[in-house]
Each structure stands twice: as C-alpha cells, then as structure tokens.
Amino acid sequence: MQSGIGARIPRKEDARHLKGKAQFVGDIKIAGTWEAAFVRSPLAHARITAIHKPQGAEARVFTAEDMVDLAPIRCESTLPSYKVSDYPALAQGKVRYVGECIAICIAPTRAEAEDLAEAVRVDLEPLAPVVSVEQALAPEAALLHDDWGDNLFLTTNHAGDLTEAKAKATVVIEREYETARQAMNPMEGKGVLAHWDHKAEQLVAYTSTQVPHLIRTGLSECLGLDQAEVRVIAPDVGGGFGYKCVLQPEELSLAWVARRVDRPIRWTEDRREHLTAGANTRQHKYKITAYADDTGRLLGLDADIWVDVGAYSVWPFTACLEAAQAGGNLPGPYDLGAYACRTYSVATNKPGFTPYRGVARPGVCFAMELTMDAIARAVGRDPLEVRCLNLVQGAAMPYTNITGKFYDSGDYPAAARAAAEMIDSANFRARQKAAAAEGRHIGIGFSTFTEQSAHGTKVFAAWGLPLVPGYEQAMVKLTPSGTVEVRSGNHSFGQGLETTIAQVACEWLKTDLAQVKVTMGDTGLTPYSTGAYASRGMVMAGGAVSKAAEELARRLKIHGAHLLQCKPDEVEINDCAVTNGIASASFAEIASAWYLHPDRLPDDVNTAGLEVTEGYKPDIDTGVFTYATHAAIVEVDPATGRTTILDYVIFEDCGRRVNPLILDGQSYGGAAQGIGTALFEEVIYDAAGQPLTSTLADYILPGPAELPHFRLGHAETLSPYSRHGIKGVGEGAAIAPAGAIVNAINDALSGYGVELTQIPATPHRVLSALLDAQDK
C-alpha cells in the first residue's frame, strides 16, 4: 500500500484507540501509586490568613509553606512593559481565582484524597474581586499583584499613521465586538503521575502534554533539578487543543510531593476542575474604526483590543500571547495600507489564559469579518466582492503585510471564490427571497483568514519568549531486523502526527506504514523538541523526520551498493530494499550486515551508521501560511432566537497534504469547535468571580445534532520554504466559523435591522438584539 506523503490512509494509532488499548495517564499502573486531590480556593480574591491541616493527617497534606524549595512558575518575557507574575504551585499569601490550588492532599484512593481535602480548613480574608476588564482598569481597582501599580501584564502599540486613510475615506465604520471566555474540554482532562526512579536517579513524570521536552525543562527549573534528573513521558493523550502545552501548577506540586514522600502520586483532572480551575481563554473586547472608500476598499484600520487574561502568566507563553497575537493578526489576509492598534493584556481574578486552537485568531477573525460585512453593507456591495477586492492577491505573493507577516504563497481571492461557488452564493439571493416568501429567515456569511504555522525561532524570540526554541529534531533508524524506527520528541494527541511523520519516513524509504515504528513523547528516548502547537507539528517534526530519513536513505544506498557490488549512484530504494534494477539488497540484509557483521564492511561503509538524528528549521523563520475561506448558510427563527446551520463549506490550502483523510478530520473537528465558539460556548462568572458554568449542562458543547454536514474543498499550493511544500493546518478550521455564522445570522435578520456583535450568538443574544432593533 502507498504510505508516503499524500496517501489517504487510516491512522496507525486508531487500532489501539478504538479497541480501548491506548494508555492514558489514568491507565498507567505503578505499584504503590497514591492519588491526589487539591484544596482549591472558594473565593476569587482573598488573603490567606491560616491553613489548618486535619489532625493526624499532617503528613498527607502539603501547602506552600512546606514547599519552600519549590520555585514558582515564572514566565519571563523580553517585551517592554511586561510584568512578571510569580505563579506559585500552591497559593502563597493570597488567592487570585476560584479554583486556585491551596493544598495538595494524598491518599491511597481519589475518594480518600478528596475527603482529606474537604477536611482542610482555610481562613480567608476576602478582597474586592476584579472580574472584568473595565473593573481591572478602573482607577480605584483592587490590584491582583500588589507591587504592580496597575492590572496590566502588557500593553503593545502598533503606531501606524492613519492620516491619509482618514482623509481619503468616504466610509467610516465604528464597531465594538466581544468574544466569550472558553474552556477547551479535551476528552481526556489533564493528568499527571510522578515518581522518583531510584535506579535512574530521576523524577519520572507521566503527563498528558503536547510538549514533553518543554515540560521537562519547566519542571527541572522549578524543582531545582538537573534536566538529566527529570524524565517526562507523555503517554497517549486524549486531546490537547493548546490546554496541554503549558506547565500547570498541579503537575509541579504533585512532582514535588512524589519526591518528598517517595511514592508514585497521580492526579486526574475532573470535568468540574477543568471548567472552573483550568486555565481558560479567548475573552476579548474590540473597538475598531475602519476607513474605506466607496468601492469598499479598506484604506486603514484603527483598533483597541483588550484581553481578559486572568491572574497569572502561564509558562512558557506568558499571559500576553493572546493580546500580542491579536494585534499582529487583525489585518489577517487583507492588504491594508494603514494600521494602528493598541492591545492590553489585563489581569483579572480568573484562571490564567492558555492558548486554545487558533490562539487569538478566532477573535480577530470574527472582528475583522464582521467589519468586512459592515463595509459591504455601507457601500451596497456583495460581501464576497468586497473581500476579494481587499484580499492579498495571488500575483502579489510572496507578500509582507502591514504587521510584517510574510505570506509565502497562495491565492486568497481564488479560495474565497471557490468557497462561494461550492455554496452556490450566486443563486443565494433568489433562494433567500423564496424562503422569505414562506416566512423563513435564511442568511449567508463568509469568513476568511490566514493561519501562521511552523513559527520558527525568530518568531518566538520576537514574542519575547526566551524559553521556546522553535526548532525540531528527529531520529530515523533502521533496526537490526531491517524495519524503520522514527523517534520524535514531539507528540501526537489526536491530530495524527504519529501517522503522518511515519508517512514522511515512508516517502524516502519507500516502505509502508506497518514497517515503521514511531516513538514519541518520551524525553528519555527522543531528541529535544519544541512540541506540537501553533500548527507546527507537521512542518517541523515532519521536516526533521524528512531530513533524517533522507540521510538514512543516502546511507542505505551506500550499504546496498556495497552488497550489490555497484556504485551508490547506480541504485535506488524501492519496496524495503536497495536495487540496481538487476538485483536487490533488502533492508533486512543491509541491517544484518551493519549491525551483526560489521567486520565484513569496508571502513567507508561501516562508518555510515543506520541511526540518524537531524535538526530542522524551515528555510524561512517566520512560518508558512495556510489560508481558507469558510461559508455558511443559516436559518434563524426570530420567535426563539435559535440558529440552524443549513450548509457549511470550507475551502482550504495547506500546501502539500500529507494525509488527506486526517486533514478532513482536522477540518471537521476544528470547525465543530469553531461552531461552539460561534453559537454555544461561554464560561460565565458572577460579580463575585464565581464560575457559573461548572458542568457540561451549563457549558454547552455542540454535539452531532448541532453540527452541519461539512463540505470541503482544497487547493494545494506548495510552500517554497518548507520541506515538501507542507504548511500546518491544525488550528485553521476553528478560526473562521464565528465570522461566517454571525455574518450569516446578521444577513438572515437584516430585515429587522439586527447586527449582532457578540459571541456566542445564543438564542438569548439573538432575541435581545431583535428587541433592541425593535426599540430603535
């Protein structure tokens, strides 16, 4: 079976996942393991005056006072104006959000550990809770971090000159937009099991993570251990979505306790912990003024963006990634002459922000795409035409945009037109009229974006992140039996990288998937790696595997030619063998010769070993850009405010597709999450900072009944700057749905003069907008 790049084949990992044979942190059995439960803050903002451990159980309850040798999570940034927040594994002196860990309790079972946690008494002196951006920035606001002077982690200022745009503009659009806080809800919550291995003299931490090597670095820094004394193993991971690419306070205090009590300890996050105490994300406010001419050409954009980032900076990304990225990404795929933007990363009494699929872009895409529709309405033109007028044109590629992003290749208007064709927008107005005649309200909406993938070293450095290396390494080897083994310190957590990096190896070694063994996620077995996030896994880990496999192929030709008594340039690799067209040396024969009979090999062959480790960075350090257009047709019921998606198309270009089947899954899953963003998902806090959405009955995730039948289309413009022309795409489909769907809702309700500017567009919000429109 063809298993190389481009093969549409099922995933290697499916067999174990579907048969219940996968091994998540919760499945790992180490004799003597105890379970942990946390005492968490019941208040959003308070001083801790005393913690009373239950009598007789003092040796099983640990607080910050016990952990004097444990450094807090400290996330540095080189960006000017950035303020550091020390994030203690267990609260010290103060609690800053409901759910913050105050004590860790251990017992043979989780139930006993929870009973113990309930018996711990904490005396708290309440402080004024800061639960919104407005409250946080008010002159008399209570301070989250006493020595800061204000509640701002960071402000950024892209100071563009808008004078000419203002002078030329005939249309000025002013809007405010708001997006909700979300929780990521991977199927498997966070989980950690740590113990001290006396033979290896190492802390071994099994943790559900996307970035095992970074977690090793983080753990060893905070615990004061040499990196060689820490081994991190990410076993099977049931979804990450960004939530699992930061060092969590729970994994840190747990590792400390496991070492102290010298026993394996495990913590498994439950859904309530995830929804309330887990870091959550994406609460943005925008104030945008767009200047356009009367053809709808966007001349300039002026924006303020506030992001509610919670109490602490997460490691290694800081609390500022979201707002800083929002400022850099707002212009998106559009060719924009002038841009000014100020961003504010605002500290509040909520859990710290973590990246979530798309990071800032689901928010900025929503704001930008609604602005595009507002411009189209103002100039009386078709929203698709206004987009195509403003998008970076294919002939302009490669193109450096106004915030310095280097768009490497592609044809953005072509993708928009292809999506429009797929959804038959040409005939939509007639369809809408016919529906209106039946009293139905249907609307169409578009949303287009770029997805920066495979950010390199310089991008992370420009974001002020000193501890994110940006490169990737991999080892590819031939085993003594002649099969291929791929080792990558990156990880696979649902997105299929385990299969697709094997496909890259197959591309060079002309073998099939069954012959390739993949080892990932274990820092003890794999070379240092940055990990899988920011849609970097395929380009970067795939690139490293490609380089190593290419070099292995070169060496195999040397060995094979020797066995076949010809020259290396007279042979090629085919079907697990080296052949010169007349005779073949199988990989098994070559492996046997090198591993088991090296005495028979001449020196120049003998030194060409069959284990190759290579590092990789793309030819360009600023990432490669995928792009897409989503289009939606919705029906809105003005009596109930309910939105039904009637049709949904995605036209996407992520360069060379390694596994089209996996990519279909990436689109379906991403778009499902984006529809959650658009219509359902919202973490709600009351005025005291209490989370009200603490179960999945309150925090609504879309299920199959709410999701449309997605239709997908593709272009395949190879990036000139990455190996095989691959671009990343894992976040993309989650970025666009809110823009497309809310534009479609506004189109459906245009007869009522409704213009929704907040997500999720719940029935309640739609009805309120209808009532507001009636009052006007």
Are the C-beta atoms of residues 289 and 342 closer than 8 Å to each other?
Answer: no
The listed partner (ligand MCN, ligand SMO, none) that binds 662, CB under 5 to 8 Å by sort, is ligand MCN
| 108 upstream amide cis, omega within 30 of 0 | no
245 or 330: CB nearest ligand SMO: 245
527 or 670: CB nearest ligand MCN: 670
360 or 504: CB nearest ligand SMO: 360
Question: Does 535 interact with ligand MCN (rule: CB under 6 A)?
Answer: yes
**Nearest distance from residue 244's CB to ligand MCN, in Å?**
8
Instruction: Tabulate helix, strand, coil % of the chain (nearest 5).
Output: 35, 25, 40
13, 351, 387, 659, 722 from 371: Cα distances, Å: 42, 30, 11, 35, 33
Question: Does 735 interact with ligand MCN (rule: CB under 6 A)?
Answer: no
C-beta atoms surrounding 434 within 10 Å? 11
The listed partner (ligand MCN, ligand SMO, none) that binds 726, CB under 5 to 8 Å by sort, is ligand MCN
Residue from 38, 87, 533, 680 touching ligand MCN (CB under 6 A): that is: 533
**Nearest distance from residue 71's CB to ligand SMO, in Å?**
25
Q: Alpha-carbon torsion 8, 9, 12, 16, what sign?
A: positive
Q: Give exposure, 418-429, as e/b (b: 16+ Cβ within 10 Å).
A: bbbebbebeebe
Are the C-beta atoms of residues 294 and 171 closer than 8 Å to each other?
Answer: yes
C-alpha to C-alpha distance for 120 and 100, rounded to whole angstroms: 15
527 or 655: CB nearest ligand MCN: 655
Question: Does 328 interact with ligand MCN (rule: CB under 6 A)?
Answer: no
**Nearest distance from residue 659's CB to ligand MCN, in Å?**
4
SS (H, E, C) 294-346: CCCCEEEEEEEEEEEEECCCCECCCCCHHHHHHHHHCCCCECCCEEEEEEEEE
132 or 490: CB nearest ligand MCN: 490
Residue from 239, 413, 456, 739 touching ligand MCN (CB under 6 A): that is: 239
Question: Does 544 interact with ligand MCN (rule: CB under 6 A)?
Answer: no
74 φψ region: left (φ > 0), alpha (ψ -120 to 50), beta (else) = beta
The listed partner (ligand SMO, ligand MCN, none) that binds 359, CB under 5 to 8 Å by sort, is ligand SMO
**Nearest distance from residue 157's CB to ligand SMO, in Å?**
25
45 or 536: CB nearest ligand MCN: 536
Quick note: the x/- pattern for ligand MCN over 500-529, rule CB under 6 A, is x-----------------------------
C-beta atoms surrounding 705 within 10 Å? 5
Enumerate residues 6+ apart whose C-beta is below 8 A from 331.
301, 339, 368, 401, 402, 403
- What the block records as the tokens of 274 is 């995830």
Are the C-beta atoms of residues 362 and 738 closer than 8 Å to each other?
Answer: yes
Question: Does 452 interact with ligand MCN (rule: CB under 6 A)?
Answer: no
The listed partner (ligand MCN, ligand SMO, none) that binds 37, CB under 5 to 8 Å by sort, is none
- What the block records as the tokens of 680 is 């359902």
Residue from 189, 212, 218, 242 touching ligand MCN (CB under 6 A): that is: 242
Are the C-beta atoms of residues 486 and 475 closer than 8 Å to each other?
Answer: yes
Determine phi and psi for 455, rounding to 5 degrees. -55, 140
Give Rg (Cα) of the chain: 27
**Nearest distance from residue 455's CB to ligand SMO, in Å?**
10
The listed partner (ligand SMO, ligand MCN, none) that binds 494, CB under 5 to 8 Å by sort, is ligand MCN
**Nearest distance from residue 324's CB to ligand SMO, in Å?**
14
Question: Does 213 interact with ligand MCN (rule: CB under 6 A)?
Answer: no
562 or 724: CB nearest ligand MCN: 724
**Nearest distance from residue 496's CB to ligand MCN, in Å?**
4
What's the N-to-C CA distance of the chain in angstroms? 65
Q: What is the residue type of 195?
A: H
Residue from 300, 482, 691, 728 touching ligand MCN (CB under 6 A): that is: 728
Tell me which residues touch ligand SMO (CB under 6 A).
210, 240, 242, 245, 355-357, 359, 533-534, 731
Q: By CB under 6 A, which span of 26-34, 102-110, 727-735, 753-761 interacts with ligand MCN?
A: 727-735
Question: Does 657 interact with ligand MCN (rule: CB under 6 A)?
Answer: yes
Residue from 72, 218, 235, 240 touching ligand MCN (CB under 6 A): that is: 240
Task: List the one residue out of 298, 632, 628 whose CA is nearest residue 446.
Answer: 632
Are the C-beta atoms of residues 363 and 737 closer than 8 Å to each other?
Answer: no
Residue from 472, 512, 682, 731 touching ligand MCN (CB under 6 A): that is: 731
The listed partner (ligand MCN, ligand SMO, none) that binds 497, CB under 5 to 8 Å by sort, is ligand MCN
25, 139, 711 from 634: Cα distances, Å: 41, 44, 15
Task: Taking each helix axis as running N to C, give the angle between helix 361-379 and helix 383-390, from 0 to 180 degrees, rounded to the nearest 10.
Answer: 110
SS3 42: coil
Question: Does 464 interact with ligand MCN (rule: CB under 6 A)?
Answer: no
The listed partner (ligand MCN, ligand SMO, none) that binds 655, CB under 5 to 8 Å by sort, is ligand MCN
Q: Where are the beta strands (DSSP E) in 208-297?
A: 230-233, 265-268, 284-292
| 316 upstream amide cis, omega within 30 of 0 | yes
**Nearest distance from residue 540's CB to ligand MCN, in Å?**
8
Residue from 160, 189, 669, 760 touching ligand MCN (CB under 6 A): that is: 669
Question: Does 658 interact with ligand MCN (rule: CB under 6 A)?
Answer: yes
34 or 625: CB nearest ligand SMO: 625
The listed partner (ligand SMO, ligand MCN, none) that binds 339, CB under 5 to 8 Å by sort, is none
**Nearest distance from residue 351's CB to ligand SMO, in Å?**
16
Binding footprint of ligand MCN on the chain (CB under 6 A): 186, 239-242, 357, 453, 493-497, 500, 532-538, 654-659, 662-663, 666, 669, 726-731
